Amino acid sequence: MLVHQRDRILGAVDTSLAIKAIESSFCDYSSGNVQSGAVAHLRFKAPPGDFHVKSAHIGSSPYFVVKMAGSFYKNPERGLASSNGVMMAFDAQTGHTICLLADDGALTDLRTALAGTVAARLVAPARARTLGIVGAGTQAKLHAIWVSHHLGIENVQIWSRQPARAQQLAEDLRDHPFSVTVQTDLSLLSRACDVIVTTTPSQTPLITRDMIRPGLRIVAIGADSPGKTEVAVDVMAAADLILTDSTAQCLAYGECAALDTSAGTRTPPIIEIGEVLLGHREIHLPEDAIAIADLTGLGAQDAAIAELAIKGLSAL
């Protein structure tokens, strides 16, 4: 059994190819070119943790991939990383194992941040200068870096329920080519920022009705299993456009799950990012439009980043 470790895996991934691979995975998913297994959600109470298992085979890829990853929120108190995970790649011709990517969740972290970046490029206004980051964990950091790079962000504002963690993240981001501010008032952040990325495991909404304003643009990545939510349902319902990675998943357990979609109720248009990237659907966002991207994570993204890693590893 071939086992690759985190550092070697990350060294083998060409990140300029990775964002293209993630874009392609959105398109493959929305065009029905992906076979996805049902997503398993395991939830642990004491200590609290979430765990997901996703599986996918993209089109004619030589591999299919099972991704196992989760977050146990008390781990840092024990000196352990909260997030963790591995991916197992199998031969799509024989079902035999190809290798274990013992990446400690790093590939999931990367593909999640890249997916959020793809989404941010679609929902952000032209010439976005300020990025709001809600949360102070791994995804907060990675989104600050990747979204800022791809949108040319000048100032990142960070809010966390735990201000000390926001402060720490601000320090960790010191060497990046943007300024960083810690915001202690989330409504100030939501007013000041051109685009906001929410990255927490919250089970109660953080972006609330009072923060609704013309031009509000949000990428919400935290709600990826039943019970999680970061954006109040009034805010979702007030959107002029909702983008999803998978409309089926988002309606089942993303931010969209809270929407009343019964007949006769007005809901915002909901469009998959893959449909937009493929050119099958066009989106127009006037300056004052409210747009929200709801991301739940796709097995296809795991399969895409794993295939890229395996190709890179075999070329080392």
Binding residues for a second copy, rule: CB under 8 A, are: 1, 3, 5, 35, 37-44, 47, 49, 51, 53, 55, 57, 64, 66, 68, 70-72, 75, 78, 80, 84, 86, 88, 90, 92-97, 100, 102
Cβ of residue 250: shortest distance to a second copy, in angstroms? 17
| Cβ-based nearer residue to a second copy, 74 or 209 | 74
**44/227 with CB nearer a second copy:** 44
Query: Distance between CA 38 and CA 296 in Å, rounded?
Result: 13
CB atoms within 10 A of CB 77: 9
Cβ 47 to a second copy shortest distance, Å: 6
Nearer residue to a second copy within complex by CB, 69 or 158: 69
Strands 40-44 and 49-58: antiparallel
CB atoms closer than 10 angstroms to residue 96: 7
- Using CA atoms, how far apart are residues 150 and 153, in angstroms rounded to an integer? 8
CB of 35 to a second copy, least distance (A): 6
Nearest residue (CB) to a second copy, 57 versus 121: 57
Cβ 127 to a second copy, closest distance in Å? 41
Cβ-based nearer residue to a second copy, 45 or 284 = 45
Give the C-alpha separation, 16 to 208, whole Å. Answer: 35
Neighbours of 193 (CB within 10 A): 25
Q: In whole angstroms, how close is the CB of 234 to a second copy at the nearest point?
A: 31
Smaller CB separation from a second copy, 31 or 35: 35
Of 47, 43, 65, 48, give the one whose Cα is nearest residue 56: 65
Question: Minimum distance from CB of 132 to a second copy (Å)?
Answer: 29
Report the Cα–Cα distance between both ends of the chain, in Å, rounded: 18
Amino acid type, 25:
S
State the sign of the Cα–Cα–Cα–Cα dihedral 249, 311, 69, 158. negative
